[in-house]
Amino acid sequence: MAPSSPSKRSVRWLAALLATSGLLPGAHAQYYNIDTPDQIRESARGLAYDMMLFYQGNKSGEIPGILPGPPTEHKGDYYWWEGGAMMGTFVDYWFLTGDTSYNKVIEEGMIHQVGPNADYMPPNHTASLGNDDQGFWGMSAMLAAENKFPNPPDDKPQWLALAQGVFHTQASPERHDETCNGGLRWQVPPTNAGYNYKNTIANACFFNLGARLARYTSNDSYAVWAEKTFDWLWSVEYIDHKDWRVYDGGHVEHNCTDVNKAQFSYNAALLLHGCAFMYNYTDGKEIWKDRVDNLLKGILRDFFPEDIAYELPCEGRQGACTADMLSFKGYVHRWMSVVTKLAPHTAEIILPVLKTSAAAAVKQCTGGESGRKCGFYWSGGVYVDTNVDKTSGAGEAMGALAAVSSLLIDQAPPPATNATGISRGDPNAGSRSRGAVEPLTPITTGDRAGAAILTFLILGGAIGTWSWMSLGD
Ligand SMILES: *[C@@H]1O[C@H](CO)[C@@H](O)[C@H](O)[C@H]1NC(C)=O
Ligand SMILES: *[C@@H]1O[C@H](CO)[C@@H](O)[C@H](O)[C@H]1NC(C)=O
Ligand SMILES: *[C@@H]1O[C@H](CO)[C@@H](O)[C@H](O)[C@H]1NC(C)=O
Ligand SMILES: *[C@@H]1O[C@H](CO)[C@@H](O)[C@H](O)[C@H]1NC(C)=O
Ligand SMILES: *[C@@H]1O[C@H](CO)[C@@H](O)[C@H](O)[C@H]1NC(C)=O
Ligand SMILES: *[C@@H]1O[C@H](CO)[C@@H](O)[C@H](O)[C@H]1NC(C)=O
């Protein structure tokens, strides 16, 4: 079931699209340039503005922090977690460009969603809460601490304490059990579809937060959790022992041995990012260097054909990437850029690739009436019209914004720690949420308003198509 080379597949597919849609490449001239730092800042400014057009959360009557959604309530294309991811993208945007235009909007969104116990479990979303959903919000709070994003007022929860709140709720015994010898489940409420799935993203978020909290606070308890979580992912072979491919997850009724081998870029990149924090926290310990280097090699091999970001499990098949998946490229760029700060020996490998990939991203931002709207298909070199394939949404806009702003990483300071930072922590954060998630009304598969992945639902179909396509070659 070896799929054919991704780049070839996507070129073939795009050619077919263009032929059937009557679109001509170059209908609009390239809008964004990224050759100099000034051009990069200027391009990022335009991309940030256009990204904000998707956000309604600062308008009266709308809910701060979220993108229009969730789809399950027919309110828009985006689940709760993606609002959290967007907040992080703008925390980086400000950090890298110095443009403060959106800081108030972002602070308001991040504070509005904290929930009654300041751990990103707001009642509107706890019934459908995934550990990864909560994790994405927690990671954006952690980023705000690391980037020294302006602190909220004293009477509001602080960034570091919010990240700790998320981590502590996830470290609590009620989220852990002995099935599969450990690991977090995908879903938090036992009645949710997906509660029986122990997946990479939930554990990667937890691992990642642990690694970062260890480095920020110098409290080794966080590192112990991070290490244990990485070891578990390795033991169930969600990380392939030979090629370091990172797979999606497995089910508890199979002792997690029915590994779903879909490889999403953000799973691998989030582990790489966390390993770089552990590498840095341990002053360059060989085992973490080894993990950084091997994951990086796998990511460049699998997700950067021709040095351009490519969402392996779905990009080659029209309509196969969900709204969630359409946003992954941006996180991958952001996380990989930070790796160059924490493990400086990777900079000369990573930075040129991110540059090529970002250039491809902006090359296709020629769509819409503005002539600068961004789509999803970076390696094709042309904007694919939204009438053909609905791929010019918030995730795609966020992807291009992230790819461009991350090019400024070489001029940015490394992530702060308690020695250099300004955010106040709270060792007891999250402790009041014990038992807060009760099985209330059962959520059916159809209702599940969840995070990043419907992979285990759609995957069978996707693999079927790949085998078919490979046979056809
Ligand atoms: C919402 O934020 C955007 C971007 O900062 C701004 O242009 C717009 O005026 C804001 N709307 C309101 C109602 O504050
Ligand atoms: C929860 O949802 C209600 C109804 O949509 C909304 O009015 C409220 O602002 C939401 N609360 C939060 C904290 O987002
Ligand atoms: C270190 O973190 C653990 C929880 O992760 C906490 O129980 C402990 O109090 C922390 N230690 C200090 C000195 O803050
Ligand atoms: C489940 O898998 C783990 C390895 O991940 C193994 O140690 C354990 O013995 C297995 N348990 C059962 C019941 O097969
Ligand atoms: C850890 O990060 C700092 C800041 O970027 C860097 O100077 C240092 O070299 C890193 N440590 C290791 C072991 O690479
Ligand atoms: C950072 O936090 C750790 C653990 O609480 C503490 O030992 C250390 O002194 C702190 N460093 C600074 C510079 O505040």
Going by pLDDT thresholds of 50, 70 and 90, the confidence category of residue 3 is: very low
Return the ligand number nearest the Cα of 90: 1
- Cβ count near 75 (within 10 Å): 13
Q: List Cβ neighbours of 171 (8 Å cut-off, separation of 6 or more).
A: 206, 225
- Going by C-alpha positions, the residue among 237, 235, 209 that lies closest to residue 223 is 209
Tell me the C-alpha distance between 408 and 338, whole Å: 11
Residue nearest to atom 2 of ligand 2 (CA): 124
Q: List Cβ neighbours of 286 (8 Å cut-off, separation of 6 or more).
A: none
The answer to whether residue 472 scores a pLDDT higher than 80 is no
The answer to whether residue 446 scores a pLDDT higher than 90 is no
- Is residue 448 packed enough to be buried (19+ CB in 10 Å), middle (13-18) or exposed (0-12)? buried
Mean pLDDT for 310-317 is: 94
Higher per-residue confidence, 434 vs 421: 421
Residue nearest to atom 10 of ligand 1 (CA): 58
**Which of 217-226, 253-262, 289-298, 368-377 comes out lowest in average pLDDT?**
368-377
Give the model's pLDDT for residue 386: 62
CA 56 – ligand 2 centroid, Å = 14
Give the model's pLDDT for residue 452: 38
Give the model's pLDDT for residue 444: 40
Cα of 148 vs its chain's centroid, Å: 21
The answer to whether residue 449 scores a pLDDT higher than 50 is no
Could you read off the pLDDT of 127-173 as tens digits, one per residue?
A: 999 999 999 999 999 999 999 999 999 999 999 999 999 999 999 99
Give the model's pLDDT for residue 28: 79
Give the model's pLDDT for residue 21: 46
Return the ligand number nearest the Cα of 233: 4
The number of the ligand 4 atom at minimal distance from the alpha carbon of 255 is 1
Give the model's pLDDT for residue 387: 62
Q: List Cβ neighbours of 333 (8 Å cut-off, separation of 6 or more).
A: 309, 354, 357, 358, 399, 402, 403, 406
- For ligand 5, whether the C-beta of 283 sits within 6 Å is yes
Return phi, psi of residue 199, to 5°: -120, 170
Tell me the C-alpha distance between 306 and 304, whole Å: 6
Domain spans, the chain: 8-470
CA 247 – ligand 4 centroid, Å = 18
CA 428 – ligand 6 centroid, Å = 17
The answer to whether residue 457 scores a pLDDT higher than 50 is no
Going by the DSSP 8-state scheme, the letter that residue 176 receives in this structure is: B
Tell me the C-alpha distance between 308 and 383, whole Å: 15
CA distances from 21 to 237, 364, 380, 385 (A): 43, 16, 15, 9
Cα of 306 vs its chain's centroid, Å: 22
- For ligand 5, whether the C-beta of 344 sits within 6 Å is yes
Could you read off the pLDDT of 327-338 as tens digits, one per residue?
A: 999 999 999 999
Reported as type and span, the H/E element at residue 249 is: strand 249-251
Higher per-residue confidence, 415 vs 433: 415
Which residue among 49, 51, 105, 108 is best mutated to probe the pocket of ligand 1, counting the most ligand atoms within 8 A of its Cβ?
105
The answer to whether residue 445 scores a pLDDT higher than 50 is no
Pair 99, 421: CB distance under 8 Å: no
The answer to whether residue 439 scores a pLDDT higher than 60 is no
CA 114 – ligand 2 centroid, Å = 12
Tell me the C-alpha distance between 387 and 380, whole Å: 17
Encoded tokens for 434: 């014990």
Residue nearest to atom 2 of ligand 6 (CA): 217
Residues in the chain: 473
Q: Is the peptide bond between 70 and the residue preceding it cis, with omega within 30 degrees of 0?
A: yes
Tell me the C-alpha distance between 312 and 262, whole Å: 9
Tell me the C-alpha distance between 390 and 258, whole Å: 32
Mean pLDDT for 389-396 is: 85
The answer to whether residue 105 scores a pLDDT higher than 80 is yes
Tell me the C-alpha distance between 89 and 84, whole Å: 9
- Is residue 266 packed enough to be buried (19+ CB in 10 Å), middle (13-18) or exposed (0-12)? buried
Mean pLDDT for 288-305 is: 98
Could you read off the pLDDT of 6-45 as tens digits, one per residue?
A: 444 444 455 555 544 445 544 679 999 999 999 999 999 9
Give the model's pLDDT for residue 390: 72
Give the model's pLDDT for residue 27: 61
Planar angle of CA 284, 290, 292, nearest 5 degrees: 80
Give the model's pLDDT for residue 437: 56
Pair 150, 193: CB distance under 8 Å: no
Going by the DSSP 8-state scheme, the letter that residue 172 receives in this structure is: S
Ligand 1 cavity residues, CB under 6 Å:
52, 58-59, 101-102, 105
- For ligand 2, whether the C-beta of 124 sits within 6 Å is yes
- For ligand 5, whether the C-beta of 284 sits within 6 Å is yes
Going by pLDDT thresholds of 50, 70 and 90, the confidence category of residue 308 is: very high
How many CA atoms within 13 Å lie on the side-chain side of 189?
Answer: 22
Reported as type and span, the H/E element at residue 197 is: strand 197-199
Going by pLDDT thresholds of 50, 70 and 90, the confidence category of residue 388 is: low
Higher per-residue confidence, 116 vs 436: 116
- Cβ count near 92 (within 10 Å): 27
Could you read off the pLDDT of 41-55 as tens digits, one per residue?
A: 999 999 999 999 999
Residue with tokens 């937060």: 209
The number of the ligand 5 atom at minimal distance from the alpha carbon of 345 is 14
Which residue among 275, 280, 288, 290 is best mutated to probe the pocket of ligand 5, counting the most ligand atoms within 8 A of its Cβ?
280
Tell me the C-alpha distance between 341 and 273, whole Å: 10
Tell me the C-alpha distance between 79 and 326, whole Å: 13
Give the model's pLDDT for residue 319: 85
Pair 160, 147: CB distance under 8 Å: no
The answer to whether residue 284 scores a pLDDT higher than 80 is yes
% of the chain beyond a pLDDT of 70: 85
Q: Does domain 8-470 have CATH number 3.30.428.10?
A: no
What is the average pLDDT score of the chain?
88
Give the model's pLDDT for residue 432: 83
Mean pLDDT for 88-101 is: 98
Return the ligand number nearest the Cα of 422: 6
% of the chain beyond a pLDDT of 90: 81
